[in-house]
Amino acid sequence: MGILIDRSTRILVQGITGNQGSFHAGQMVAYGTQVVAGTSPGKGGSVHHGVPVFDRVRDAVEETGASASVMFVPAPFAKDAAFEALAAGIKLLVMVPEHVPVQDTIAILEYARYQGALVLGPNTFGLITAGQAKMGIPPNHIFQPGPIGIVARSGTLSYEIADALTRAGLGQTTAVGMGGDPVAGQTFNEILHRFAQDPQTELVVMVGEIGGSAEEEAASFIQQMNKPVVAYLAGKAAPVGKRMGHAGAIIERGRGTLESKRQALEAAGATVVEMPWDVVPAVRRRLA
């Protein structure tokens, strides 16, 4: 079953004719995703990867019934593109671009709440419901259907862990990228809640990192979950005040440290592992 998207979700690609949008839209189509429309101003009326292209999101939604959109537009135009999608009735917006100004993200999230829509990102790899559909940039070949949910701040680590799970015969329901920026559309709590309600998800792997308090805040919900959680936290060797990759991966004055997150998660009943390759053995133990 998975969460958020499945094979019936009608998906729009904003920026479908750009380099990144074109490549990843092609991969989405190849995976079996129901990509029903794309937008690219000035190229309306054309067809790309067998997908009709429109100048405006509203036209695409009215013509095709798209309800979800994945954005491949440059960061300076992300706010306008997001507002256009939300105003047109898109209810799930996946924002792949990085370097979106924080003020723009805050405005987008406020408008999304007003419109009753859900936003992933920005700076997210997107999401994939294994064997059914994907939005964003996850590699097609490493995800296989199974009982494990994944929620993560980091894309690369998620791919590594998903590949290890698949090789071990432990497929996935859905893998969700929250995004690596300090302000993002979803929290661990919100995604964990969805996994808790999904009957096919038996265990959740949580991929966190230093910086912020999202993992500590998730601990209160994990304590109430009826499903086990295995967590890997990246950034063990990061010095205080040093940004490591993601804009949100920075610790300041003792806040957002790996140790504070580990203690909170373990106190809530989660299994916290030291290295990515420890995830598979831990999953097997918790499912036994």
User: Considering only CA atoms, which of 191, 201, 190, 44 is closest in space to residue 127?
Assistant: 191
Pairing state between β 92-95 and 68-71: parallel
CA contacts within 13 A on the Cβ side of 69:
34
> What is the SS3 assignment for 11?
strand
Q: How far apart are alpha carbons 132 and 83 in whole angstroms? A: 28
Q: How far apart are alpha carbons 174 and 4 in whole angstroms? A: 8
Six token digits for residue 279: 């995830």
Question: In Å, how far are 32, 95, 115, 212 from 78, measured between CA atoms?
Answer: 27, 8, 17, 24
Residue with tokens 């792949």: 96
Name the active-site residue from 24, 48, 49, 246.
246
Sheet containing strand 11-14, strands side by side? 47-48, 51-54, 35-39, 11-14, 68-71, 92-95, 118-120
Q: Is 246 annotated in the active site?
A: yes
Between helices 78-87 and 57-64, what is the axis angle to 10°?
40
Q: How far apart are alpha carbons 206 and 222 in whole angstroms? A: 11
Q: What single-letter DSSP state applies at residue 140?
A: G
Q: How far apart are alpha carbons 184 and 209 in whole angstroms? A: 14
Catalytic residues: 246
